[in-house]
Amino acid sequence: MKDLGILNGRVYLEGEFIEANVYVEKGVVVDITTNFYDSRVMYDAGEKWVLPGFIDPHVHFELTVGPFTSVDDFRSGSISASFGGVTTFIDFLDPASSIEGIERALKIRLEKAKKSVVDYSFHITIANPEDDPEKIARFARELELPTIKIFTTYSSTKRRTYDHQIVRFLKVSKEESVMILAHAENDEMINEDEIPVERHEESRPTIAELSEVVKLAEMTKFLDGKLYVVHVSSGLTVEEIKRGFHDIVGEGLFLESCPQYFYFTKDIYKKEKGYLYTLTPPLRSDVERKKLMDNIDVISTIGTDHCPFNKEDKLGRFTKEIPMGIGSIEFSFVLMHTLFGDSVIDKFTKNVAKIHGLYPKKGTLLPGSDADMVIFDPEARWRIGEHHSRSNYNPYEGLEVRGKIISTISRGNFIVKDGIFIGGEGRFLKRRL
């Protein structure tokens, strides 16, 4: 007898839908077949999609920014994630400049993450490194957290990593089987003066992102390194990468974007509640949004940069007074499915797992993989309203979408069943590239 049988589903398996049943034993997929086997728990998918559990490669739970802390901790954030079909997320360690700092940051984050109801891992975050990049890369590989985030900006808060150090990180990335994640904006082109909300996008212009991403791509290509650019905001950036670096996109160079850049534009900053949509990089023009949509094939993964605050926290006249970020994790897949249909599935599953060292345990339903599944109704039409984040506003409220998460399963156990939260216990995942 099997532990769990998901019956009558349209199962997404390695890029194709098949009509089948999925069977689980000890938290692992053991068979996908049209045969019927007795199971301790049986669930009729009713010909809805059965997808691999989604992986969000970019979240910030309990992130402290000056006097503010993002309102979702690892419990509330992971509950919100589970309602969005996310069964694994990758958060970030607090910025560190040394091996000792990384160890300290990991210990703190591991303790906080015990509250998560879904599986999780971490990216190492480096700020103005004091230890040699080669030493840090080697330590990341040994720690089995082989993704290292750097910032090309924020020199004013001593988080910037400079070009001579980035070169060394990229040089060693292939040798040590690690990947460099970059928040890519040109530091010198950012205006950090007292900027009113309505001029937020002007203060961090597209050219700051585009020029830095192109420079990093050139470095990556020349050094045969491995680079992942987080939260790409502009279609102009993607268009330029497609034109000049198509030979390394998806091989040594990966682009991540987020749903907010596909749905909102900088015009919202001129509205009365524009401060609620402040984030970095900022929202762009409608032309750039459309170019982002036109070049979705160049985007390898969709993250969320989930970092919500309450309305009161974000109420400010100038951007320096406002913590940056919004919450997206609960609606990310539904939002992107509404725009692109089933073509985005791999950007939430297989691509993320392969790029970040989780495949084939995650990101697929092949036998032997963890039984992380999403039951999804692709035809449901509804309007976004209630959410499960602790934030007291939802930036996507009122949007009409197509497709709905019905149930979420982690390692063979229902976390959300028919829209009702059941509960779960996440585990820490080590990764290898």
Level-2 CATH architecture, domain 53-355 = Alpha-Beta Barrel (3.20)
DSSP codes of every residue in 248-261 = TBTTTEEEEE-THH
CATH class label, 2-51+364-378+401-421: mainly beta
Q: Give Cα 412 distance to the centre of its chain.
A: 23
pLDDT of residue 362: 99
pLDDT of residue 150: 99
The token pair that represents 60 in the structure block: 């910030």
pLDDT of residue 69: 98
Does the N-terminal peptide bond of residue 281 adopt cis geometry, omega within 30 degrees of 0?
A: yes
231: left (phi over 0), alpha (psi -120 to 50) or beta: left
How do the pLDDT tens digits run along the chain, 433 residues long? 999 999 999 999 999 999 999 999 999 999 999 999 999 999 999 999 999 999 999 999 999 999 999 999 999 999 999 999 999 999 999 999 999 999 999 999 999 999 999 999 999 999 999 999 999 999 999 999 999 999 999 998 999 999 999 999 999 999 999 999 999 999 999 998 899 999 999 999 999 999 999 999 999 999 999 999 999 999 999 999 999 999 999 999 999 999 999 999 999 999 999 999 999 999 999 999 999 999 999 999 999 999 999 999 999 999 999 999 999 999 999 999 999 999 999 999 999 999 999 999 999 999 999 999 999 999 999 999 999 999 999 999 999 999 999 999 999 999 999 999 999 999 999 999 9
Q: Give Cα 264 distance to the centre of its chain.
A: 18
CB-based burial label for 100 (10 Å; 0-12, 13-18, 19+): exposed
pLDDT of residue 62: 98
The token pair that represents 44 in the structure block: 């009729």
For residue 375, CA distances in Å to 248, 338, 342, 403, 431 come to 34, 16, 14, 11, 26
pLDDT of residue 192: 84
b/e string for 332-361 if b means 16 or more Cβ within 10 A? bbbbbbbebeeebbbbbbbbbbbbbbbbeb
For the entire predicted model, the pTM comes to: 0.98
pLDDT of residue 98: 98
pLDDT of residue 82: 99
Q: Domain extents for the chain?
A: 2-51+364-378+401-421, 53-355
